[in-house]
Amino acid sequence: MAKQAESKSLQKLANLRRQHKSFINIMPLQTGGMLTEAAQKALVEFGDGYSVCDFCLGSLCNITNPPVREFAHELLPEFLGCEVATLTYGARDGIFMIMHSLAKPGGSIIVDGNRHYTTVVAAERVGLNVIGVPSSGYPEFKVDVNDYVSLIKKHNPKLILLTYPDGNYGNISDARRLGEIAQEYDIPYIVNGAYAVGRMPVNMEGLGADFIVGSGHKSMASAGPCGVLGMKRKWEEIVLRKSEAYGNKELESLGCTLRGTPLVTLMASFPYVKERVNHWDEQVSKAQWFSRELEKLSFKQLGETPHQHDLLHFETPALYDISKHVRERGYFLYKELKERGIWGPQPGLTKAFKLSTFAATKEQLQFVIDSFKAILNKYG
Amino acid sequence: MAKQAESKSLQKLANLRRQHKSFINIMPLQTGGMLTEAAQKALVEFGDGYSVCDFCLGSLCNITNPPVREFAHELLPEFLGCEVATLTYGARDGIFMIMHSLAKPGGSIIVDGNRHYTTVVAAERVGLNVIGVPSSGYPEFKVDVNDYVSLIKKHNPKLILLTYPDGNYGNISDARRLGEIAQEYDIPYIVNGAYAVGRMPVNMEGLGADFIVGSGHKSMASAGPCGVLGMKRKWEEIVLRKSEAYGNKELESLGCTLRGTPLVTLMASFPYVKERVNHWDEQVSKAQWFSRELEKLSFKQLGETPHQHDLLHFETPALYDISKHVRERGYFLYKELKERGIWGPQPGLTKAFKLSTFAATKEQLQFVIDSFKAILNKYG
């Protein structure tokens, strides 16, 4: 790198700024991960590397100051509805830990057709064959969990997994029914709750699952990377097995995972997160109302209707038509929304995109609706 | 959990505080991970979950805003002295990625006897046999890298690894000579630079290594969890191989790793870190002076003498003797130092402990020396 270019690059790094920090945020990846005030304070307090580990005696989940032990061993299992919980870098990392512990290369896993890409990548990293349960396709993309049965009989999988809800359409499949199926065929069952845990009430045992993973940065008001993993006690000695050489170190977490700042944000936000899931019905009504209003503007909501989650996927042909005739092409929408203080659809997309109503108030969402209307009128 | 106990636990979480934030810090785990002012600002700016990913088009290391691409593809390889670099959760995670990509269960790896425990745990997670090159033992614990040769001939390992320096004694082995041996026997060679990268000048190619791992939270003025991994171009298609199902997603990072706050602290601190390694000779003199002064107090420095790194391990029988006769037992030292605003030896230890002179000024270290003297006098 030339000296001058390098000096310019270094200057940029010393002054990193986020463009739309105070915007109305309706980006699905982000609406559940916005920090509470307590988490913002904890972030600064425990910003320095390894400061979480001040009083560590060799095991992250047993640190008493800050109170990681109480959090991981008592509060978290109760919140997840499971017997044993631990901390991870994120939902995907929890899924990999389970797969890597329970299955061998060449084994099979059956997953819903709407699964996140990381489920497939984690399986591939372990060497597993992934068998997908197809959804109903356009426009609802529903997964009927009864379709797992014939595939279980055919493939004799080591594991089954359900994405609950999925991150593409926000569909809530019948996780409880799949729990019955898992028990009937005696197959360990993973619930990927990256968009559930921390947003809506979810109870692993109540769903009849063996494992549940959640994401701190996606749905628990935390900085990333950060996640949680809950399980039945019987899996503890397998997934959380200790090293033969170091009896107090867990193999799948390479000793310990979340040795840093995201963990304290997860903990600091937890009282708020625990409370907010009780207001899930209000979130669902808000999402349904927002969806109806956008449909009046000719947008078409994909996924289940009426919708049961704040993650919404819309087809927006009217916006796509505009993009074909303007200088900025697909980026016109991003620009128009940015001017109005709204951050949501992935920049460049106009044909179809995902939104989340989780973090915005009804007043803010009304402003979003009015803004879409104004944009359509401006170019229409 | 009973309601009242739970409410108390939740209250604690909402108000997490660190006890010795403004103390003189000589704890080896922490002295290289203290944030710069730029990193503290970036922390707050990008605290919310997934805010690093605002403009992600599917690959973390290709994000241009914030400038991750420039950092990971240009600045970092130049800094590490390698052809290809990527981001990880930490040094241990980088080591696991390499082992998991290059070796199969049942294979062997030869490592130095002073290796960090995570090297052994990562190998065990992959299913590798670990063969250790013994150190010279008490009191210097030196590793002669020429001792790798006979073990290479005997075990035909898939990989060799050197901890440079090790985290127990701060010994700097002859990494360059091991590079020659690795090349002679054509065995991929990993340098674990968790205590080197970001503290002292280190150049992977210069050492003749195939891989280097570094730790953001340990030595690059970053929040945790956060690390870097550098390699020769020829390993890119193996360690950073893409998913068959998702052609733009790397398998070993499950799509992407550092999707969050620690990454922006790593980037924001980088200009400072890049500069500070140029002053390594001053750090070494400071460590040597501090060691000599403590030896005058009857403490015995273990590891190489004269020492070549800020990480110092002392035997302190005089303090241990005191601990046997005081009410607080081993914790008396922690308490005495805390009263003086010093944070360093692991609470409870008095017989032997590690210290690091990296973050403290000479004046602060003089105060530490005087404090040890005063404590010895008080009880002596």
What is the count of residue pairs from A and B with beta carbons less than 8 Å apart? 281
Q: What is the pLDDT of residues A108-151, one digit of tens each?
A: 999 999 999 999 999 999 999 999 999 999 999 999 999 999 99
Give the helix ranges, DSSP H, for chain B: 3-13, 37-45, 68-70, 76-80, 91-102, 117-126, 148-155, 175-185, 204-207, 216-219, 236-239, 261-276, 280-296, 317-323, 331-339, 362-379
Arithmetic mean of pLDDT over chain A: 97
Cα–Cα nearest to A97, from A220, A197, A241:
A241
Q: Given this model, what pLDDT does residue A17 score? A: 93
The SS3 assignment for B190 reads strand
In percent, the amount of chain B with pLDDT more than 70 equals 100
- Comparing CB atoms, the residue among B13, B51, B245 nearest residue A270 is B13
Question: Residue B214, Cα to own-chain centre: how many angstroms?
Answer: 7
Listed by number, the residues of chain B in 5-44 with a beta carbon closer than 8 Å to a beta carbon of chain A are: 6, 9-21, 27, 29-30, 32-35, 38-44
Residue whose token pair is 């797969």: A99
Listed by number, the residues of chain A in 269-288 with a beta carbon closer than 8 Å to a beta carbon of chain B are: 270-271, 274
Average pLDDT over residues B159-163: 98
Distances (CA, A) of A141 to A117, A164, A167: 16, 13, 12
Cα–Cα nearest to B353, from B378, B306, B309, B320:
B320
Is the overall model pTM greater than 0.90, yes or no? yes
- The verdict on a CB contact (< 8 Å) between A49 and B267 is no
Spell out which residues of chain A touch residue B53, defining contact as CB-CB under 8 Å: 29
Spell out which residues of chain B touch residue A131, defining contact as CB-CB under 8 Å: none
In percent, the amount of chain A with pLDDT more than 90 equals 95
Among B7-21, B194-208, B283-297, B360-374, which is the least confidently predicted range? B7-21
Residue of A nearest to B29 (CA): A50
For each of chain A's 380 residues, which pLDDT tens digit applies?
A: 788 888 999 999 988 999 888 899 999 999 999 999 999 999 999 999 999 999 999 999 999 999 999 999 999 999 999 999 999 999 999 999 999 999 999 999 999 999 999 999 999 999 999 999 999 999 999 999 999 999 999 999 999 999 999 999 999 999 999 999 999 999 999 999 999 999 999 999 999 999 999 999 999 999 999 999 999 999 999 999 999 999 999 999 999 989 899 999 999 999 999 999 999 999 999 999 999 999 999 999 999 999 999 999 999 999 999 999 999 999 999 999 999 999 999 999 999 999 999 999 999 999 999 999 999 999 97
- The verdict on a CB contact (< 8 Å) between B12 and A70 is yes
User: Chain B closest CA to A32's CA: distance in Å?
Assistant: 8
The answer to whether residues B141 and B112 touch, using CB atoms and an 8 Å cutoff, is no
- The verdict on a CB contact (< 8 Å) between B43 and A41 is no
Q: What is the pLDDT of residues B98-130, one digit of tens each?
A: 999 999 999 999 999 999 999 999 999 999 999
- Comparing CB atoms, the residue among B35, B54, B217 nearest residue A259 is B217
- Please give the Cα distance from B322 to B372 (Å, whole number): 13
Mutation target for A interface from B18, B63, B249, B334: give the one with most A CBs within 10 A.
B18
- Please give the Cα distance from B107 to B221 (Å, whole number): 36
Question: Residue A68, Cα to own-chain centre: how many angstroms?
Answer: 22
- Please give the Cα distance from A176 to A174 (Å, whole number): 5
- Structural domains for chain B: 20-34+279-379 (3.90.1150.10), 37-276 (3.40.640.10)
Spell out which residues of chain A touch residue B126, defining contact as CB-CB under 8 Å: none
Cα–Cα nearest to B356, from B28, B67, B7, B15:
B28
Mutation target for B interface from A4, A18, A80, A239: give the one with most B CBs within 10 A.
A18
Listed by number, the residues of chain A in 144-173 with a beta carbon closer than 8 Å to a beta carbon of chain B are: none
The answer to whether residues A31 and A358 touch, using CB atoms and an 8 Å cutoff, is yes
- Comparing CB atoms, the residue among A118, A221, A224 nearest residue B261 is A224
- Comparing CB atoms, the residue among A38, A47, A215 nearest residue B223 is A47
The answer to whether residues B79 and B274 touch, using CB atoms and an 8 Å cutoff, is yes
Q: Given this model, what pLDDT does residue B21 score? A: 84
User: Chain A closest CA to B336's CA: distance in Å?
Assistant: 17
**Rg of chain A over CA atoms, in angstroms?**
22
Query: Does B81 lie at the interface with A, CB-CB under 8 angstroms?
Result: no
The half-sphere exposure of A319 on its side-chain side, counting CA atoms within 13 A, is 29
Q: What is the pLDDT of residues B28-52, one digit of tens each?
A: 999 999 999 999 999 999 999 999 9
Q: What is the pLDDT of residues B324-333, one digit of tens each?
A: 999 999 999 9
User: Chain A closest CA to B123's CA: distance in Å?
Assistant: 9
- The verdict on a CB contact (< 8 Å) between A40 and B44 is yes
Query: Does B2 lie at the interface with A, CB-CB under 8 angstroms?
Result: no
- Comparing CB atoms, the residue among B16, B27, B120 nearest residue A245 is B120
Q: Which one-letter DSSP state was computed for residue A146?
A: G
The SS3 assignment for B209 reads coil
- Comparing CB atoms, the residue among A13, A20, A224 nearest residue B50 is A224
Q: Give the contacts of B283 (CB within 8 A, at least 6 positions apart).
A: B199, B200, B310, B357, B358
Q: Given this model, what pLDDT does residue A2 score? A: 83
Spell out which residues of chain B touch residue A118, defining contact as CB-CB under 8 Å: 254-255
Residue whose token pair is 């991994």: B229
Mutation target for A interface from B4, B9, B12, B16: give the one with most A CBs within 10 A.
B16
- Please give the Cα distance from A147 to B106 (Å, whole number): 39
Q: Given this model, what pLDDT does residue B1 score? A: 73
ipTM of the complex: 0.97
Strand ranges (E), B22-83: 24-25
- The verdict on a CB contact (< 8 Å) between B67 and A12 is yes
Spell out which residues of chain B touch residue A121, defining contact as CB-CB under 8 Å: 243, 245-246, 249, 251, 254-255
Greatest CA separation found in chain B? Answer: 69
Which of the four pLDDT bands, split at 50, 70 and 90, describes residue B3?
confident
Query: Does B55 lie at the interface with A, CB-CB under 8 angstroms?
Result: yes
Q: Give the contacts of B12 (CB within 8 A, at least 6 positions apart).
A: A67, A70
- Please give the Cα distance from B9 to A177 (Å, whole number): 34
Residue whose token pair is 């020769």: B232
Q: Which residues of A294-320 are buried (b: 16+ CB within 10 A; e: fewer)?
A: beeeebebbbbeebbbbbbbbbbebbe
Spell out which residues of chain B touch residue A16, defining contact as CB-CB under 8 Å: 38, 41-42, 45-46, 66, 264, 267-268
Q: Give the contacts of A242 (CB within 8 A, at least 6 positions apart).
A: A248, A249, A250, A251
Q: Given this model, what pLDDT does residue B380 score? A: 79
Tokens of B109: 């790896």
- Please give the Cα distance from A163 to A171 (Å, whole number): 9
